[in-house]
Amino acid sequence: MKLFTKYMTRNDCYTAGRKITPKGIMVHSTAVPGVMAVEWFSRWNKSYKAGEINRQVCVHAFVDDKEVWQYLPWDHRGWHAGGAANNTHIGFEICEPAGFSYKSGSVMVGYDAAKQEDYFRKAWQNAVELCVMLCKKYSLNENDIICHSEGYKLGIASNHADVMHWFPKHGENMDTFRKAVKKALENSTDTNTDIGIGDMVEFKDSVKNYYPGSVEVPTWVKNDYYHRVTQTLYKGKPVIKGGKECVLLGKKVKKSGGQEIAGINTWVAKENLVIVNSLPDNKGNRTYTVQKGDTLWRIAEKELGRGTRFPEIKKLNGLTSDTIYPGQVLKLPE
């Protein structure tokens, strides 16, 4: 599973800033054929309050056959269930392949299951691996995973059919999905013992101290950064603190954007960490298409919140003057 992180900071759900303690995972599917995980950033990183989008919606991640894109912090309250599950569940969407359409809301027209079997299996596997990662991080198991339609039957979600309008076309259902997650959890190697120099890790949500008897881990260390392991031994021997084998975290990696900077330089118990599979994307900047009458100041004011940030747009796009033209696509900083 390739996991990339890029928070939808303009979405009103993100700016609301409400937190949850995840008690479960809700699986959705997009019902938008052919739109892949990376493409949802430009679609949903917009403000309903500002009139930029006609929906108040945001999920934690999108999954396709190639990768996973995380768009909200896992402990951030999402807008995905249309019910009480928003307060308890992490929600992610599985992207659906191109080549068919919908009628009557949830009826797939022209869907060729045999042709799409390869895509489905790869997306399924990425969804399973994401659930395994989240189960480990939040001390959950396969029984804590439901889909949107199951949430509706439980009275904690709105009336949607996903994913049971799709999975059966490939001989699957949520019970077989949960069995796949259970098997993967049972067969997965204990990632704590595999942590080595160069690995990127994050703290488990349940962690309170760096190691038994140490100081408390600050919230920003857990929530805002991944960390890079720079040392596993001291004078050729494992480092034991509070009775636990530790590694040194010598670099920080910003979860939003992927910038790598000086770290906390603290020894941390291996059992408190989880390996992150892939470095967050640092190049996938959101973009803005210049409209007639736009200036760099106006774009910065509208898109970044302050007109005085226009030099950042110039620098990111390599502009040598303030001249821009309609139709020009500009990269925007975070």
Please report the pLDDT score of residue 28 as a whole number: 98
> Which CATH code, of 3.40.50.920, 3.10.350.10, 3.40.1080.10, 1.20.5.510, is assigned to 287-331?
3.10.350.10
The residues, any chain, with a CB within 8 Å of residue 24's CB and separated by 6 or more, are 85, 88, 89, 90, 140, 144, 145, 146
In this structure, what token pair is assigned to residue 187? 């067969």
Sign (positive or negative) of CA dihedral 153, 156, 159, 161: negative
Q: Which residues pair with 102 in a beta bridge?
A: 108
In this structure, what token pair is assigned to residue 61? 């991640």
Give the type of residue at 197.
I
In this structure, what token pair is assigned to residue 142? 């396969």
As a whole number of angstroms, the distance between CA 284 and CA 210 comes to 33
Q: What class has domain 2-188?
A: alpha beta
The residues, any chain, with a CB within 8 Å of residue 289's CB and separated by 6 or more, are 327, 328, 329, 330
Please report the pLDDT score of residue 115 as a whole number: 97
Q: Supply φ then ψ for residue 7, to 5 degrees.
A: -70, 140
Give the type of residue at 170.
H
**SS3 label, residue 198:** coil
As a whole number of angstroms, the distance between CA 83 and CA 76 comes to 15
As a whole number of angstroms, the distance between CA 155 and CA 173 comes to 20
- Given the DSSP bridges, would you call strands 244-254 and 237-241 parallel, antiparallel or unpaired? antiparallel
Q: Are 202 and 70 in contact (CB under 8 A)?
A: no
Please report the pLDDT score of residue 280 as a whole number: 45
Q: Are 233 and 290 in contact (CB under 8 A)?
A: no
pLDDT along the chain (334 residues), means of 10: 86 95 97 96 94 94 94 94 98 97 93 97 96 91 97 97 97 97 80 74 91 95 91 91 94 79 94 74 62 88 84 87 82 78
The residues, any chain, with a CB within 8 Å of residue 138's CB and separated by 6 or more, are 22, 74, 90, 205, 206
Residues 152-189: b if buried by 16+ CB within 10 A, e if exposed: beeebbeebbbbbbbbeebebebeebbebbbebbeeee
Question: Distance of CA 274 to CAs 110, 205, 206, 334, Å?
Answer: 42, 10, 12, 26
Q: Supply φ then ψ for residue 128, to 5 degrees.
A: -60, -45
Please report the pLDDT score of residue 113 as a whole number: 97
- If you ran DSSP here, which 8-state letter would residue 329 be given? E
pTM of the model: 0.65
- How do the domains of the chain map onto residue ranges? 2-188, 199-275, 287-331
